[in-house]
A = this chain, B = another copy of it.
Amino acid sequence: MKNILDTRLWHGGDYNPEQWLDVPEVLEEDIRLMKQANINCVSLGIFSWAEYEPKEGEFYFEWLDKIINRLYENKIYTILATPTGALPIWMQVKYPEVRQMQANRIRNLPGNRHNFCYSSPIMREKMRIINEQVAKHYKDHPAIIAWHISNEYGNNGNDSSCHCPECQKAFRSWLKNKYGTIEALNAAWWTKFWSHTYQDWEMIESPAPHGESMLHGLKIDWKRFVSDNIQDFCKEEIKVIRKYSELPTTTNLMGFFGNIDYFKLQDKIDFVSVDAYPSWHEEKEEINVAVETAAIYSLTRSLKRKPFLLMENTPTVTNWKKNNITKRKGMHQLSAMQAIAHGSNSIQYFQWRQSRGSYEKFHGAVIEHQGGEKSRSFKEVQSVGACLKDISDLIVHTCNKSEVAIVFDWENWWALDEAAALKEDKEYVETVLMHFKYFWEKGINIDFIDMDSQYMKDYKLIIAPVNYMYRGDYIEKVREYVHNGGNYVTTYWSGIVDSHDLCYLNERPLEDILGFHVDEINLLSNHQKVTFNYKGKQYLVRSLCELLSEVTANTLGWFENDCYEGYPAITQNQYGTGSCYYFAVQPEYEFLYDFYEDLLNKLGLRCDISHQLPKGVTVALREDLGEKYYFIQNFNDYKVQVALDKPIKKMPSHTLVSDSLNLEKYETVIVTI
């Protein structure tokens, strides 16, 4: 199915005309300004349930028909949402069971948003009715290009879960389905500990602050269930749409969002989209924020290994952070191009126009309370729109490819976070980002995979930081990958538990291909300085050290002091035609940089543009059938010069540049070779 979605880069955003129905001149003004701002697509209906169905069973779409038509007349397409992101008050009042119950077993009152139980039969019924009404009404409208299912699933400010009796029931069914017998569950959860043996499924309750909070098997399964249950709701939403429409569906994800396994969610939808709100300018240098944001886009792209849509970002400022700092001049262009560089085919804003009242009235928008087209916001958006139009044909069919992948796995994250050991914060995402950072600094594309991935063989190098839990067929896949020539980097605190969070006994899986046995893992105290040596250079341990024994691997780095002195810190082991690298230490970033520099040299992986990019400059590559477009971006607030390894051609201008490329503050240049 060749969809209109894939035919251009999109520019637009969330549009809430229902707030302005009594001010028709505002709506007309919107059309005029959208055209001026190079908008070609808006998202509608996200929070419109109360407008569609102001009273139970009475539906009104005329107001929206007019708007969609008027937009379409002006060549602005619509991504239409199912309106489950926020429930009408009448529904929350009449049917208390549709509201979430928190872990303390207190039912939420009506209000806020995302406040619904994913298990509630009434909620599901109400969802089916409204989705059916919307789908039926709009199924043939030529303006609609895709379905936006609900909104930011799980973003209710707590752990995304509902603990109501319906959810307890659904959880028990889910468990029955998983384990078959209560004995199997007891074994998996190791319930003999503290006399926790369950005699009956009905005895099981979700974790609670005033109930069970120490049974890890239960807690991790609860997280799996919550993630699955939300996905099931999403599937049900789509099922209704599918009765009427074959248009592609998506739901807007949120990057490193802890409560839903996005690798699993991705196959419920047709294309992936993401909301991103990086905290530019919070730090003196933008590098860490740029790295994290690039990682969010790379993760999003990796889910389907295809371009995605940036569904929400702010043209200027947020209103919900502790400190809400406005993007400085030029930053919006840079950050928009960053999304495109890493695989987005759109720049969509939250929000087109600031509302006059309530919670998000001060969130950034293209059209602000004051100023309209005179505002800086409007002008910078307009300029991004012009740029997207320029490069659309060039870029829209390309995508990022990579020879390197990082294993990032939601279940591993959950298990790590729960683990009562070492220290509270296991820093999983931080650690993953620290590895990612090297590749960003060197301008090398990198993908994310999880332990279920069937694509390991596609990569020259796979990096697996803190693989605490080995699950599924991961162990076998790693073994095969390395045996067949793959390069595998992994770290301390890996291979500790199986998918039930039960510890491996005696020997850990993969010890044979890593080439040692782990004796101990220790947390350093704050005053303890331990160093290790790699190729003659000294590096600081952050806080964790392992002691290895029976080492048959090559030792590349040694601990230098304390009881660790002389023990291997970094090892390499040949297995089949591949290699395993291991860090028996939580290193500082400087070591990662030096280590990957060596390894990538060895593997012949490098950025085509320049071997040594200036600090704060990165390159991302989108390609298709031999066409390669490099996005070179300067995240510094000063100009820099990039020494080019070969001559390049700026696009779409086709200007030739050899030797060196000048980049202004916050500038993005697209080039081909």
Q: Does A16 contact B (CB under 8 A)?
A: yes
**Are B89 and A197 interface neighbours, CB within 8 A?**
yes
A3 to chain B, nearest CB (A): 29
**Are A108 and B51 interface neighbours, CB within 8 A?**
no
**Are B16 and A325 interface neighbours, CB within 8 A?**
no
A89 to B214, CA, bound (A): 14
A669 to B428, CA, bound (A): 45
Known contacts A111-B215, A522-B326; is-contact A283 B527 (Cβ 8 Å): yes
**Those of A374-400 within 8 Å (CB) of chain B:** 374-376
Q: Which of B109, B216, B370 contacts A205 (CB 8 A)?
A: B109
A563 to B637, CA, bound (A): 12
**Are A199 and B55 interface neighbours, CB within 8 A?**
yes
**Are B199 and A89 interface neighbours, CB within 8 A?**
yes
**Are B189 and A503 interface neighbours, CB within 8 A?**
no
Stretch at the interface among A353-361, A473-481, A638-646: A353-361
A127 to chain B, nearest CB (A): 14
Scan A398-434; emit 1 where CB is below 8 A from any B CB, else 0.
Answer: 0000000000000000000001111110000000000
Q: Which of B212, B520, B523 contacts A112 (CB 8 A)?
A: B212
A177 to chain B, nearest CB (A): 21
A193 to B322, CA, bound (A): 22
Q: Which residue of B lies closest to A22 (CB)?
A: B187
Q: Does A329 contact B (CB under 8 A)?
A: yes
| In the complex, chain B residues whose CB is within 8 Å of the CB of A199 | 54-55, 89-90
**Those of A158-199 within 8 Å (CB) of chain B:** 187-199
Q: Which residue of B lies closest to A104 (CB)?
A: B106
**Those of A101-118 within 8 Å (CB) of chain B:** 102, 104-113
Q: Does A48 contact B (CB under 8 A)?
A: yes
Q: Which residue of B lies closest to A357 (CB)?
A: B190
Known contacts A358-B194, A370-B508; is-contact A325 B525 (Cβ 8 Å): yes
Q: Which of B214, B322, B507, B519 contacts A375 (CB 8 A)?
A: B519
**Are A370 and B506 interface neighbours, CB within 8 A?**
yes
A492 to chain B, nearest CB (A): 14
| In the complex, chain B residues whose CB is within 8 Å of the CB of A376 | 519-520
The interface centre, meaning the residue of A109, A217, A424 with most chain B CB atoms within 10 A of its CB, is A109
**Copies of this chain, count:** 3
| In the complex, chain B residues whose CB is within 8 Å of the CB of A448 | none
Q: Which residue of B lies closest to A102 (CB)?
A: B210
Q: Which of B210, B375, B422 contacts A108 (CB 8 A)?
A: B210
**Are A507 and B370 interface neighbours, CB within 8 A?**
yes
Categorize the interface residue count of chain A: 35 or more
Q: Does A362 contact B (CB under 8 A)?
A: yes
Stretch at the interface among A80-88, A244-252, A588-596, A609-617: A80-88
| In the complex, chain B residues whose CB is within 8 Å of the CB of A281 | 525, 528
**Are A109 and B357 interface neighbours, CB within 8 A?**
no
| In the complex, chain B residues whose CB is within 8 Å of the CB of A86 | 194-196
**Are A211 and B110 interface neighbours, CB within 8 A?**
yes
| In the complex, chain B residues whose CB is within 8 Å of the CB of A371 | 506, 517, 519
Scan A88-102; emit 1 where CB is below 8 A from any B CB, else 0.
Answer: 111001000000001
**Those of A592-622 within 8 Å (CB) of chain B:** none
Known contacts A16-B193, A324-B523; is-contact A370 B88 (Cβ 8 Å): no
A530 to chain B, nearest CB (A): 12
Q: Does A372 contact B (CB under 8 A)?
A: yes
A108 to B202, CA, bound (A): 17
Q: Does A64 contact B (CB under 8 A)?
A: no
Scan A340-379; emit 1 where CB is below 8 A from any B CB, else 0.
Answer: 0000000000000011111111100000011110111000
A83 to B194, CA, bound (A): 10
Q: Which residue of B lies closest to A87 (CB)?
A: B195
A284 to B524, CA, bound (A): 12
Q: Which residue of B lies closest to A496 (CB)?
A: B369
**Are B506 and A212 interface neighbours, CB within 8 A?**
no
Q: Which of B49, B90, B355, B505 contacts A356 (CB 8 A)?
A: B505
Known contacts A86-B195, A90-B199, A190-B358; is-contact A328 B563 (Cβ 8 Å): yes
A89 to B423, CA, bound (A): 30
**Are A109 and B208 interface neighbours, CB within 8 A?**
yes
**Are A420 and B326 interface neighbours, CB within 8 A?**
no
A572 to chain B, nearest CB (A): 22
A45 to chain B, nearest CB (A): 11
| In the complex, chain B residues whose CB is within 8 Å of the CB of A104 | 106
| In the complex, chain B residues whose CB is within 8 Å of the CB of A501 | 357
The 8 nearest A-B residue pairs measured at CB: A190-B357, A109-B211, A111-B212, A362-B421, A50-B195, A214-B359, A193-B358, A86-B195
Question: A16-B193, A362-B419 are known contacts; what are 10 more A-B pairs with Cβ within 8 Å?
Answer: A50-B195, A90-B199, A112-B214, A190-B355, A323-B422, A324-B423, A326-B522, A326-B523, A370-B519, A375-B520
12 A–B pairs (Cβ distance < 8 Å), ordered by A: A47-B193, A50-B192, A87-B195, A108-B211, A110-B203, A111-B212, A188-B357, A191-B358, A216-B359, A282-B526, A323-B422, A359-B420
